[in-house]
Every structure is written in structure tokens, then in C-alpha cells.
């Protein structure tokens, strides 16, 4: 399997985000107001983009958003490889923690990375979320 991880522009993430996460909404729904301030990453398999994620560093902590693997390519370790890479990248930036708004049905996936559920929960667009975080650098 020939895979590589590269940085992407925000617009390169949108179609995959849309296809995987919110296919019934307009494309604009998956564009984030802060997309231009983010650092975006993609995992390529045989020159095809199969997985994306976006990282936003603010006030010393890093939030990753919109982790998505092409639906028919899920379960092959691509999301794990990409998130591991991004956690290392965030750690190299010396942020104190990494966090995300996790879909509640994805918490076990994130727990494998050492992330823990906080008590902060919310619902948006019919989807339940819990904020999960991991302290990655204690200075």
C-alpha cells in the first residue's frame, strides 16, 4: 500500500468533508469560517485523497476538526495514521493539549489515542457531541 500524508489547502478538503460528513447539506455547510487560519492534512493512497483532517491552533491548544475518510475506504487504518500524524505535528508545535468535538458514536475511536471525554456535551444538526481532549505537552 503506497500512502503519504501532505498538507492541503482548505478548499482541497471540502469535497471529501462534504461527501463523508454532510452529503445532504449544501457544500457551503462544510466550509468553516476559520478554514483559512487552519492547517489541513490529507492522506493519499495511490495518489487519491482518501482521508482529511484540519487543525486549528489557538491560545496554546490545538483543535482538530472534520476528520473524514472516504466512506468506502474506512476501516483500513487511514484515519488512525492521519490522526497520529496530526497529534505528532501538534506536539511539535508545543501546544499544551489537543481536543475535538467528537461525535458520541466515535468516542471509542478517539480513546485509542489517549483522549478522554470531558463533561462538556452538546447537540448540533441532530448529532450529539462530546468534547474530548488529551494533554500532550506539559512544558
Ligand X SMILES: CC(C)(COP(=O)(O)OP(=O)(O)OC[C@H]1O[C@@H](n2cnc3c(N)ncnc32)[C@H](O)[C@@H]1OP(=O)(O)O)[C@@H](O)C(=O)NCCC(=O)NCCS
69 lies in the binding site for ligand X (CB under 6 A): yes
Diameter over CA atoms, the chain? 44
Question: Which residues face 3 on adjacent strands?
Answer: 45
Confirm if 130 and 117 have CB atoms less than 8 A apart. Answer: yes
Using the minimum distance from each CB to ligand X, give the nearer residue, 8 or 102: 102
Of the listed pieces 1-9, 22-30, 63-71, 116-124, which binds ligand X according to CB under 6 A? 63-71
Select the residue interacting with ligand X from 20, 55, 62, 87 (CB under 6 A). Answer: 20
Of residues 104-123, which lie at the interface with ligand X (CB under 6 A)? 106, 108-109, 112
State the Rg of the chain over Cα: 14
Rounded CA-CA distance 71/129 in Å is 20
55 lies in the binding site for ligand X (CB under 6 A): no
Amino acid at each position: 500500500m503506497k500512502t503519504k500524508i501532505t498538507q492541503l489547502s482548505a478548499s482541497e478538503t471540502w469535497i471529501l468533508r462534504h461527501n463523508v460528513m454532510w452529503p445532504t447539506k449544501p457544500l457551503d455547510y462544510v466550509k468553516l469560517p476559520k478554514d483559512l487560519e487552519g492547517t489541513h492534512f490529507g492522506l493519499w493512497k495511490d495518489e487519491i485523497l482518501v482521508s482529511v483532517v484540519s487543525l486549528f491552533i489557538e491560545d496554546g491548544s490545538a483543535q482538530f476538526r472534520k476528520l473524514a475518510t472516504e466512506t468506502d475506504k474506512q476501516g483500513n487504518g487511514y484515519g488512525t495514521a492521519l490522526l497520529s500524524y496530526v497529534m505528532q505535528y501538534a506536539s511539535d508545535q508545543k501546544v499544551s493539549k489537543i481536543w475535538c468535538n467528537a461525535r458520541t458514536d466515535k468516542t471509542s475511536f478517539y480513546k485509542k489515542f489517549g483522549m478522554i471525554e470531558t463533561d462538556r456535551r452538546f447537540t448540533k444538526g441532530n448529532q450529539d457531541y462530546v468534547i474530548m481532549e488529551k494533554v500532550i505537552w506539559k512544558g
